Amino acid sequence: MSFDARPSPARVSAAAAAAFPRWALFGLLTAYIAAGLIGRDPWYSEDLAGFGVMWTMAHGTVADWLLPNTAGLPLTEEGPLAFWVGAAAIRAFGGVLGDALAARLACVVWFTLATAALWYATYRLARRDEAQPVAFAFGGEATARDYARMLGDVAVLLFIGTLGVVLRMHETTVEAAAVALTATALYGIAWSLDRPGAGAILSGAAIGALALARGPLPAVLLLAASGAALWVVQRDPARRSTIAWLAASAAFVFSLWPLAALVLPADLRGAYFADWRAWASRSVGLPSVDELWWAARNLAWAMWPLWPLAAWTLYAWRHSLRSPHVIVPAFAAAAMLLALLLGEQTSRTYLSLIAAPLVVLAAFGATTLRRAAENVIDWFSIVIFSFFAFALWAYYVAMVTGTPPKMAASIERLVPGF
C-alpha cells in the first residue's frame, strides 16, 4: 500500500468490509430481474416495437436478421445487435415459453452481463494502490481484496437501486443492451491497466457492439473517452499500442454487420444503409435551451441516487483525480452525458446510458461519507420507500373498491375495462 502526504479519504475497517452473503446478493438480483418479465403486455411503444423487430427476425429470412424491420417496415434508427439476441431467444424458447416471454429472456442476458461487468470493473479499480482506504494506526483496516469485493457489491446494489434503469432493464429495447455493453467497456478499460492488450480488445469489442446496438454517437464518444482515460492513467510507452488495439477492436466488431450484409442484393442493402447513415448524421446536433432544461430535470430523478454520490466522489477524491478509479468512470460518464446532449433530440432512451459509469464512480464515494451524510441518505430512502409503498397500496385499494374515486378513474383511464 502506498502512503503519501494526502491520505485516502476512504476509511473502512475489516469488520465493515466483511463479505456480503453471495446467496443474498444473487437472490436479490434474481428477484429484481424476474419481476416484470412474466405475465404482462409491453409497457411502452418502444417495448412493443422492439418485440416486433425480434419476432420478424425469428420468423423471417436472412434479410430480416441483417436489415432490421417490422413486417417489412425498415428500422434504420438503431443497430441490430439487441434484436439478434431477442430473436435468438424466440427461436430457442418461443415454442415452450411463448414468443413474448422468450424475447424478454434477452433482458436476463443483458442484466447478467451488466451486473457482472460493473462488479468486476469496480473490483479491479478498487484493488489498485491508488484506491485503497487509509491504514489505521493500530491495524484493523480492510484488506485490498475485501475492500474491492465490498465496493463491487456496493456498485451492483447502487445499479439496481437506480430509478432510471428499472424499466429499461426489463424492456425488449436496445437500452438494456446499451447499458450492459457500456459496463463491459468499463471493465475492459479497468482490465487493460493490468493486461493492456486483452483489456483493450475487450473494451473495444464492447464499444463496437454498442455501435451495433445503439448507433455510432455514444460509441464514438465512449471510444474517445476511453482512449483519453488510458492516455492519462498509463505512463508507459505502450499506451499508444493499447489505444490502437482499442480502436481497431471497436472498428472490427462494428464492421461485421455491413460485411455480413454483402450476401444480400446490392439494391436492398444499399437503400437500407443509406437510410441508416442519414439517420446517424441527423442524430448529432447542438441542444437547445429547452433540451438542456429537459436533460437536467430528468437526469435529477433518473440517475438518483447515483449523481449525488458521484459528485461526492469527485470532491472526496479531489486530490487523486488522475487516479484510474476516478478518471476512468468520470471520462465515460462525461462521454455518455455528451451523447445525451448532442443527440438529435433529448430522449429518455439516452438517460440510462449514463448509469454504468456513474455506478462505478458513485461506489468510491460511498466509503468516504461521514456518519451524518449516511443518516440523511438512510432517512431519505425510508421516506421515498414509504411514499411509494403507500401510493401502491392506495391505488390497489382504489382498483378493487373504487375508492378514492379519482384514483379509480385514473386506473380506468390507463387500463380500460380492468
Strands (E), 46-201: 69-70, 73-74
Q: Which of 1, 114, 9 is nearest to 369 (CA)?
A: 9
pLDDT for position 5: 47
pLDDT for position 382: 55
Strands 73-74 and 69-70: antiparallel
pLDDT for position 36: 74
> Would you call the peptide bond into 237 cis, given omega within 30 degrees of 0 as the criterion?
no
pTM for this structure? 0.87
pLDDT for position 345: 55
Instruction: Give the pLDDT confidence of 352-373 residue by residue, as tens digits.
Output: 889 999 999 999 988 887 654 4
pLDDT for position 377: 53
- Residues in the chain predicted with pLDDT less than 50, given as ranges, are 1-5, 346, 372-376, 379
pLDDT for position 284: 82
- List the chain domain ranges: 25-368, 379-414
pLDDT for position 80: 93
pLDDT for position 1: 42
Cα dist from 191 to 62, 231, 325, whole Å: 36, 15, 12
pLDDT for position 9: 77
Residue showing cell 471520462: 331
Burial of 342-364, coded b for 16+ CB within 10 Å and e otherwise, reads bbeebebbbbbbbbbbbbbbbbb
* Number of residues that this document lists for the chain: 418
**Distance from C-alpha of 9 to C-alpha of 315, rounded to nearest angstrom:** 10
**Distance from C-alpha of 117 to C-alpha of 356, rounded to nearest angstrom:** 9
